[in-house]
Amino acid sequence: MPPKRKAVIPLNAASAINYTDSTGDRANKRSRISKPSTNNFRKEVPPEPLTARNAENGGPGEKAETEVISKDGELTFDHSRPEERSGIVDRRYYPAEMRNERCAQYNGNEIPRPIELLSKAIGETTAARTAIRGMKQGDAVLHWFKRDLRIRDNTGLSRASALAKEMKKGVIGVWIMSPQDWEAHLVSPAKCDFELRSVEILRKELAELDIPLHIEVIEKRRNVPKRLIEMAKAWNAKNVFCNIEYEPDELRREEKLVKLMLEEDINFDPQHDDCVVPPGTLKTGGGKQYAVYTPWYRNFVNYLHLHPHVLDERPMPSQNPSGFRKKYESLFDAKVPEAPESKRLSDEDKERLHHLYPAGEAAALERLGRFLKEKVGKYKDTRNFPSKNSTARLSLHHAAGTLAARTSVRLAKDVNTTKKLDGGVQGIQSWISEVAWRDFYRHVLCHWPYVCMHKPFKFEYTNVAWEYSDPNLEAWKTGRTGYPIVDAAMRCMNITAYMHNRLRMVTASFLAKHLLLDWRLGEQHFMLKFIDGDFSANNGGWGFASSTGVDPQPYFRVFNPWLQSEKFDEDGEFIKLWVPELKDIQGKEIHNPYAKPGTKAAAIAAKNGYPKPIVEHKFARERCLVRYKAGIGRDTA
């Protein structure tokens, strides 16, 4: 699928007739099921329109459809759009849903992407920043830790340490807790807790190298750049390193920091580290970005075969010079803060998750080592069976940066029977290709940044008429849908903050296609629950399951949860573990206990209070096809 792909929407399509996200006075009628109210403002207060605060919402100077100043001066929003009423778009941090026209402009290379703006800023300032670096001035070099909570194989930290050693100075680490970023990015309490535990371990490991880790809470996310500059000036640091995060907000922030720090004669030096291969590196023969995984992965493998040094481990940071600890003694006393109140775990959850998921890079490397020794050989044949405990469960470490994806690929390659990534042990080949999906989704995010802005990759699917049923959503969240494999998966997530990948596909497909709920409600809920929450991977998975994303399953393919259950949990082991109401049912009836009324299975399920299916499979499939066809303006499948 070419990157300049533009939506071809028939003029009589529902998406052409009903959809608008212009900033005029028309409501977004993205759903014929959800009926937007005409006005949610207090009648006695005539709203005064504001200019749009974000160019993504129609450009400077246009009227912002949903922002008003009330009589008491408070900023409020018109939540008549269904995605806002449902809490999908958090208007405290983001503008209204982007227009299809602007998505098409990104596709057509008509407006610059955030990663292109950062690359341009880095390129235009290279000479000036190199000059600062070459002067070897300042009393310290800073490394800003973000999603790279480790000392091994860390590009930014390694380069900061190398420069400090040349200067005969030391490194100061900085970690910032930004509660607003955690709120805006829907980071789960489980993930917040895991990161805080990992920061404490990182602080101790750095201290062994006489490297302090300054820890600070910055309440307002917009103040982060200003505060970083203040820190650099206070410690007379002329060089500040970090590893790049690829979401649009973070790319824009780093573009801003490159320029602002240079105004203060400081070199801000962001590094590619989070991906094995930096986004934008892999292109089709025509120079375009891939939108299909299989050809992208072939190129990924070929690139690493041609450039094996990309997988090399980055040098460990050096010990800081003697006397550095004494000079910056107060920085070694930093305490890891408590999570914000909205992100705190209960004592019971904390105890359970601490036992399930030891934090820090040593725990990550130990888990990886055990997987490569004990499980990877059979990974290809067993990875889809949730009861077999056959996967690595390293996604939480990749998400927090306690383990680099590069490290995982390199160590897997090292235990293979060949140095080729697409040869040797089948299980190793399969696992590396699964790790690479993480890179692929980041490449997609950088080239099509609107997927970060409440839009489906296939933005022509914008007007699929989703349902917004709170009871159905709650049944899905709590594992009370009457579909045992779906309910087992959701209950597992509610207790462990984790879900097997096969079950993520099944539960996501069920929400989007059986319940026909807006897929973004599910995407949001997963982020708010998972300990391994990762925006690009989560968004990509939901796009696949709902057929609205990059390289998705066809919209007319609707998973049959009962068949998925029979295939991947044949004996019902996983169901019996998480849906105890059904543990006494024998044989295949456990997958659909109410299939035949009057049977022993149905009696057991009813007696134990297990619900009947909230939607009938055949009806759900037919409704899904009708709704999708109408939404994209197709008369036939």
CB atoms within 10 A of CB 381: 13
Does pLDDT of 463 surpass 80?
Answer: yes
Q: If you average pLDDT over residues 136-164, what whole number do you get?
A: 98
Q: Is 542 a catalytic residue?
A: yes
- Choosing from 144, 182, 235, 542, the catalytic residue is 542
Host H or E run for residue 260: helix 248-263
pLDDT higher than threshold 90 for residue 634: no
Spell out the domain ranges in the chain: 22-97, 112-449, 459-632
Q: What is the DSSP letter of 517?
A: B
Note if 519 is an active site residue: yes
**Binding-site annotation, residues:** 379, 391-395, 431, 434-441, 532-534
Residue 119 CB coordination number (10 Å) = 17
112-449 folds as Rossmann fold (3.40.50)
φ, ψ for residue 258, nearest 5 deg: -55, -45
Over residues 102-124, the pLDDT tens digits come to: 999 999 999 999 999 999 999 99
Whether the pLDDT of residue 452 is over 60: the answer is yes
Q: Which of 501, 560, 566, 608 is catalytic?
A: 501
Residue 575's identity, in one-letter code, is I
Number of other CB atoms surrounding residue 360 within 10 Å: 23
Q: Is the dihedral of CA 259, 260, 265, 267 positive or negative?
A: negative
Report how far residue 121's alpha carbon sits from residue 511's, in angstroms, rounded to the nearest whole number.
42
pLDDT > 70 in the chain, percent: 86
- pLDDT bracket for residue 70 (50, 70, 90): very low
Options 144, 476, 519, 578, the catalytic residue: 519
Confidence of residue 406 (pLDDT cuts 50, 70, 90): very high
* Residue 469, pLDDT score: 95
144 is catalytic: no
Is residue 110 annotated as part of the catalytic site, yes or no?
no
Residue 4: name the closest of 258, 286, 232, 202 by CA.
286
Q: Which residues contact 17 (CB under 8 A, 6 or more apart)?
A: none
| Catalytic residue, candidates 437, 448, 476, 578 | 437
Least confident of 90-99, 301-310, 366-375, 571-580: 90-99
Instruction: Look up the pTM and report it.
Output: 0.87
Going by pLDDT thresholds of 50, 70 and 90, the confidence category of residue 523 is very high
- Rounded mean pLDDT of 342-364? 98
Going 501 to 466 to 28 to 45, the CA torsion angle's sign is negative
**What pLDDT is recorded for position 553?**
80
241 beta partners: 143, 269
Q: List, in order, residues 6 or more apart from 94 with CB less than 8 Å away.
A: 54, 184, 453, 454
Higher pLDDT, 90 or 158: 158
The correct CATH number of 459-632 out of 1.20.1270.10, 1.10.579.10, 2.40.110.10, 1.10.10.10 is 1.10.579.10
Catalytic residue, chosen from 434, 467, 566, 573, is: 434
Bind-site residues for FAD = 379, 391-395, 431, 434-441, 532-534
What number is the average pLDDT over the span 331-342? 96
Higher pLDDT, 547 or 97: 547
Helix (H, G, I), strand (E, B) or coil at 100: helix
Q: Is 437 a catalytic residue?
A: yes
Catalytic residue among 144, 175, 182, 466: 466
Interior CA angle at 115 toward 501 and 196, to 5°?
50
Report the pLDDT value the prediction gives residue 81, as an integer from 0 to 100: 65
- Residue 2's closest CA among 287, 280, 246, 277? 287
